[in-house]
Chain A
């Protein structure tokens, strides 16, 4: 096979000085399915986004169908014959299937502006039958299941004559039947001479659909070869590998015995099932899971942002039934959310306003009038900014949006520290921040744990969890899979547990469904 469709040649890319890809070189053959795997942050998405015209590489070049290829925007990539089927589908749910398929290329009646309805219908039916979707083309997309929507998007890719189709984690919300149908279609696309790049954490699926497999780790290509040379064990060990030990500050206290947060049998259909755990005083409890494992959703439910159908959550043995975020804060819970830009900060406001936002209640005076004592609030904010070493101008003048990522994250943490919480939930607290700021955040976490705060540390960075936590719980497919105490930490075993639920497509109860 000498015919390469996509050739990556020494691709490197950095974001704010952090290397996301370094010197990645490999090729994908025509009509081949390449399985692309790696841990979160290994560089899979960055590489695909470069191919899809979202980012531009710093170094290196791409050749597409033998020609130099330099997309400047996603439309260029579409035009060149690349389709990207994202996890979050890109459909207009308010429009019909047919409208979605031809939104930029409606067939017209001659040269008139009017849509040729009969041709539209016929072409839509042809496309839909090519992906085995037998639903009227006039159906609004909002009435389709996630699996059916995905098929519509594949049909769209076919209609645009895509020669390379990238699937990003396509099976996460599919039933067993839909998953099988998807694989049949991928096979068919391949037989038509289309090239597939298949990204997934579901290693069984990758083994099943791929002709070749490429493994990325820390932005580097670790291995590439025919799929038959890979086993799941080899895939996992390639993904983990050996890494330079990072420095994690030591903690001087051991976890206490009093439970601060108790979660018992929490279930929300479609999200999490039967989750139970206890978080103790002075403890840092890690929750590890891959993308879509339900780790962040569990945090939202615990904090009262999302509802749960059954289960009990108590703080200091006090039940928090029907709680809202306001109640949670009152009960001593704090939640540093995953996405600081959209959920954690008022980007346009000053550093100090962000810092005292959640604890304004503490700085009121004149009794029931509740007038804010600004100088007192500012003083507290200043104190916390100093403790956390937030690098900023005068905090009542400096806007948060002009701080660096690390300092923004410190502001989010500082905001919650001002509420003096008993339990601090951290969701990906070090994502996208530089090493120095990371270290300072680790130190802050340790200091809090020493003071008695219970910390629920959610992360997809295994390295970080094994460095920081007393215990690690592993989630997958919305369920708790395993628990590891500090002495038994083993990255490979933890990762295996995180992948475990994904093989669960074949549990007896689900087989009966077919």
Chain B
């Protein structure tokens, strides 16, 4: 009997994103039914895709038990470099994308080196990179906005087969790749192992460095990709580009059930739901005509709920795992 109860608790605690999402749907369905029609949903997913892509990258880092605060600055630097290259060397949009991703991965590689090899705390490393990255970007752009030609902005509004907006297609591709890597490769499972305990992973013969480097570099690549997609929709990069996006990405991952303690959480459906969730809240609140000043508070309440459940989950697991010294009959 107690095992059954354990199982139920397990199912609930391991599927919090889905449950929260359902809860949100029910609330909005009652308060603002209009926010649930196809157009608004497509909008929510489209707007969620760039934060979603960054959140997928962030998930890798969070799974190892780390954090990456530098993704916002990474977006800025890599997009600004790509934009300036287009202006000055008139390269095409695809080459600009490659350049953007290259800068993003280099950014991630610096984080990876400092965390894995120099063994500096991820929070400190990425905080420093957040400031450094912003500084480098401002230096390159002389703090002026970098405008992108139509060849880029055209991509932002294009649709695959005239049906699905490209940002959503890219988002889906990123999610699929991440899922494949995390669930179906040894490296992916080892990232989970490292997040559970670095020491235990090392003892079990896992290369912790490889797992860490993969996580930070991928986080960097996905941050720059997310940045590029955002640029394709906005048309320019100003000095504040990407600022605060790191927190949206972390919030999306956490809402999606990724544990800040490392080792737990899934890209699909978790993080996807988390990213859509954040956008859906703001769209839903607008169509429900909720006072604009209340939006951040309500979004914060949901995030708080998600983090609270994460913490409960850990307490619960700790309790389950506590070693009994007596066998009670």
Contact = CB atoms under 8 A, between A and B. Distances in A.
B177 interface: no
A103 B204 contact: yes
Contacts of B186: 106, 108, 113, 115
Interface stretch (A18-26, A169-177, A237-245): A169-177
A478 B329 CA distance: 13
Contacts of B203: 74-75, 90
Contact of B204 (A104, A114, A115, A269): A104
A142 B196 contact: no
Contact of B192 (A94, A108, A113, A273): A94
Contact of A173 (B193, B263, B324): B324
Contact of B205 (A104, A174, A294): A104
A294 B326 contact: yes
A93 B206 contact: no
Query: Chain A binding site: helix, strand, loop or mixed by DSSP?
Result: loop
Interface residues of A, number: 43
A325 interface: no
A157 B188 CA distance: 23
Contacts of B190: 103-104
B189 A114 contact: no
B6 interface: yes
Nearest to A501: B326
Interface residues of B, number: 34
Nearest to B321: A93
B326 A270 contact: yes
A2 to B, nearest CB: 33
A174 B201 CA distance: 26
Contacts of B196: 92-95
A68 interface: no
Contacts of A94: 192, 195-196, 263-264
Contacts of B10: 142-143
A270 B325 CA distance: 6
A294 B189 contact: no
Interface string B177-189: 0001000111101
A88 B325 CA distance: 12
A146 B328 CA distance: 14
Interface string A410-423: 00000000000000
Interface in B304-329: 317, 320-329
Contacts of B197: 92
Provide the main secondary structure of the chain B interface.
helix
Interface in B4-25: 6-7, 10
A92 B200 contact: yes
A174 to B, nearest CB: 7
A477 interface: yes
A292 interface: yes
A513 B196 CA distance: 36
B317 A478 contact: no
A33 interface: no
B283 to A, nearest CB: 34
Given A113-B187, A271-B325, A294-B325, A95 B192 contact: yes
A387 B263 CA distance: 49
B200 A478 contact: no
B185 A143 contact: no
A293 interface: yes
A78 interface: yes
Interface in A318-345: none
A426 interface: no
Given A92-B197, A113-B186, A297 B192 contact: no
B324 A143 contact: no
Contacts of B321: 93, 142
Interface string A78-109: 10000000001011111100010001111010
26 contacts: A78-B205, A92-B201, A92-B204, A92-B263, A93-B196, A94-B196, A94-B263, A103-B201, A103-B205, A113-B186, A114-B180, A114-B184, A114-B185, A115-B186, A172-B325, A174-B327, A175-B327, A269-B326, A270-B325, A270-B328, A271-B325, A271-B326, A297-B325, A477-B325, A477-B326, A510-B329
Interface of A: 74-75, 78, 88, 90-95, 99, 103-106, 108, 113-115, 117, 142-143, 146, 172-176, 269-273, 292-294, 297, 477-479, 509-510, 513
The 7 closest A-B pairs by CB, nearest first: A270-B324, A104-B205, A478-B326, A106-B186, A94-B263, A92-B196, A113-B185
Interface of B: 6-7, 10, 180, 184-187, 189-190, 192-193, 195-197, 200-201, 203-206, 263-264, 317, 320-329
